């Protein structure tokens, strides 16, 4: 990496801190999707000043878009001096709820200088406003060091990743922003750690299963039919056959943590019988046999699995219960599905970033796959762009936690990896 680029990044340390703090101080909570316009305006001002052409794009009509909480996105593009590839950094600007247990102001952007290094605290510090700020600093430093670059650099900050990305990357992909004719390399600075490359994620299938019964007086349950007992039989069958089956399915995907290197299933919720009463209701519940019981399942599947087989396993399990249990009736409804995504290790962006990690950090890059999904799914499936990875600073375990933080040195190191990646992809040799 050129000394001039290294120096340009080191010289921006205070700017990087201030930019990260500025982003954290705009509380872009999702749901419901607050201050999306404000954060896009903040970024637009910054990126225009750095010579980017800026577009603000509202995902009009997308899931959750409303006049009260419009889904705003920003796409900024800086052209080089001659034709070449476009490198796109995509970050989501939304953050999840604060939750309990904080000892700092979640939207204060507090900087703590400590013996283990400087840290910036706040909701979104690591997931992923720190990564967004890092990519901006990397691009600005690269442009200052090498103004004669070829191709183009794009930086986007998008809505709603935490709730599926429909008002963000999915919308932009539908509008052609990730068309491989327009963009050739995508880096998503999610907090996967500065020396690791995330190639993709497992697949997802959410479904709701409902068992049916018949309401009756609770003192004479034999006159009704309990949907909760029917669901109990489903859960027993799941324990006896489905969970053991899933535990045998192992993947070649380098998923982290290790426990996610197999098929998994979570029961997100269970509801049966009388609805829960409001907190201010002080009376007793009424005696009824529950006539409906519902669970929502969250099945995460592997690149070796096919979603139709994944669904068929669950249906087969329900049919086994039905065969053994009188009056057993059920319905199953699809809620959401995402195909697994894994970029090839030989893809240009993977090789270039791995090389940059080796040169900047003097270590071999780790290759990982995320247990949960992120916006790569939309770039892959809707945008049809396969040359995409997640790479960014921060400790993944801190995401969505109280006292979330990002290390300043990790951001600087990552900015150098990103800067060198730009140099390799956009400077003619």
Residues that bind Zn ion (CB under 5 A): 127-128, 190
Closest residue by Cα to residue 400 from 17, 23, 30: 30
Report the residue number, 9 or 125, with the smaller CB distance to Zn ion: 125
Shortest reach from residue 375's CB to Zn ion, in Å: 8
Rounded CA gap, 177 and 84, in Å? 17
Report the residue number, 46 or 123, with the smaller CB distance to Zn ion: 123
Active-site option among 94, 154, 291, 404: 94
Shortest reach from residue 385's CB to Zn ion, in Å: 19
| Contact predicate 191/398, CB 8 Å | yes
Report the residue number, 192 or 209, with the smaller CB distance to Zn ion: 192
Shortest reach from residue 29's CB to Zn ion, in Å: 14
Shortest reach from residue 230's CB to Zn ion, in Å: 39
Task: Look up 161 and say whether it is catalytic.
Answer: yes
Active-site option among 8, 154, 161, 413: 161
> Sign of torsion, CA 303 306 310 313?
negative
Shortest reach from residue 127's CB to Zn ion, in Å: 4
Rounded CA gap, 194 and 365, in Å? 9
Rounded CA gap, 316 and 205, in Å? 16
Report the residue number, 127 or 410, with the smaller CB distance to Zn ion: 127
Tell me the C-alpha to C-alpha distance, in Å, between residue 320 and each of 238, 249, 314: 11, 21, 10
Phi-psi region of 160 (alpha: psi -120 to 50; beta: other; left: phi over 0): left
Task: Look up 94 and say whether it is catalytic.
Answer: yes
Report the residue number, 129 or 146, with the smaller CB distance to Zn ion: 129
Report the residue number, 186 or 246, with the smaller CB distance to Zn ion: 186
Report the residue number, 226 or 370, with the smaller CB distance to Zn ion: 370
Shortest reach from residue 108's CB to Zn ion, in Å: 20
Report the residue number, 39 or 128, with the smaller CB distance to Zn ion: 128
Shortest reach from residue 400's CB to Zn ion, in Å: 9
Q: Nearest to Zn ion by Cβ — which residue?
A: 127
Shortest reach from residue 360's CB to Zn ion, in Å: 23
Q: Which residues are catalytic?
A: 94, 161
């Amino acid at each position: 990496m050129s000394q001039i680029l290294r120096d340009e990044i080191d010289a921006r340390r205070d700017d990087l801190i201030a930019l990260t703090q500025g982003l954290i101080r705009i509380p872009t909570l999702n749901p419901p999707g607050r201050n999306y316009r404000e954060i896009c305006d903040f970024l637009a001002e910054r990126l225009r000043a750095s010579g980017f052409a800026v577009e603000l794009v509202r995902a009009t009509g997308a899931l959750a878009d409303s006049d009260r909480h419009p889904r705003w996105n920003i796409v900024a593009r800086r052209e080089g001096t001659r034709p070449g590839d476009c490198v796109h950094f995509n970050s989501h600007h939304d953050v999840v709820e604060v939750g309990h247990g904080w000892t700092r102001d979640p939207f204060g952007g507090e900087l703590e200088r400590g013996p283990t290094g400087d840290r910036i605290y706040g909701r979104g510090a690591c997931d992923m406003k720190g990564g967004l700020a890092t990519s901006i600093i990397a691009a600005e430093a690269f442009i200052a060091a090498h103004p004669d670059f070829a191709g183009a650099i794009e930086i986007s900050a998008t809505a709603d990743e935490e709730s599926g990305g429909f008002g963000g990357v999915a919308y932009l992909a539908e509008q052609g922003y990730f068309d491989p004719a327009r963009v050739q390399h995508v880096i998503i600075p999610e907090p996967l750690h500065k020396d690791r490359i995330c190639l993709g994620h497992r697949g997802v299938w959410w479904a709701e299963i409902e068992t049916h019964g018949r309401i009756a007086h609770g003192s004479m349950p034999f006159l009704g039919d309990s949907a909760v007992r029917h669901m109990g039989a489903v859960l027993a069958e799941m324990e006896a056959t489905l969970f053991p089956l899933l535990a045998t399915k192992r993947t070649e995907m380098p998923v982290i943590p290790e426990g996610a290197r197999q098929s998994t299933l979570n029961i997100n919720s269970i509801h049966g019988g009388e609805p829960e009463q409001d907190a201010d209701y002080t009376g007793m519940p009424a005696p009824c046999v529950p006539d409906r019981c519902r669970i929502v399942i969250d099945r995460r599947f592997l690149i070796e699995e096919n979603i139709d087989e994944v669904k068929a396993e669950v249906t087969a399990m329900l049919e086994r219960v039905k065969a053994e249990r009188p009056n057993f009736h059920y319905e199953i409804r699809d809620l959401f599905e995402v195909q697994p995504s894994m970029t090839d290790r030989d893809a240009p962006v993977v090789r270039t970033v791995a090389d940059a990690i080796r040169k900047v950090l003097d270590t071999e890059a780790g290759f990982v796959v995320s247990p949960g999904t992120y916006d790569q799914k939309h770039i892959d499936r809707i945008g049809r762009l396969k040359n995409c990875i997640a790479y960014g600073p921060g400790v993944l375990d801190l995401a969505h936690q109280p006292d979330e933080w990002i290390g300043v040195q990790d951001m600087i190191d990552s900015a150098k990896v990103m800067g060198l990646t730009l140099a390799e992809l956009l400077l003619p040799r």
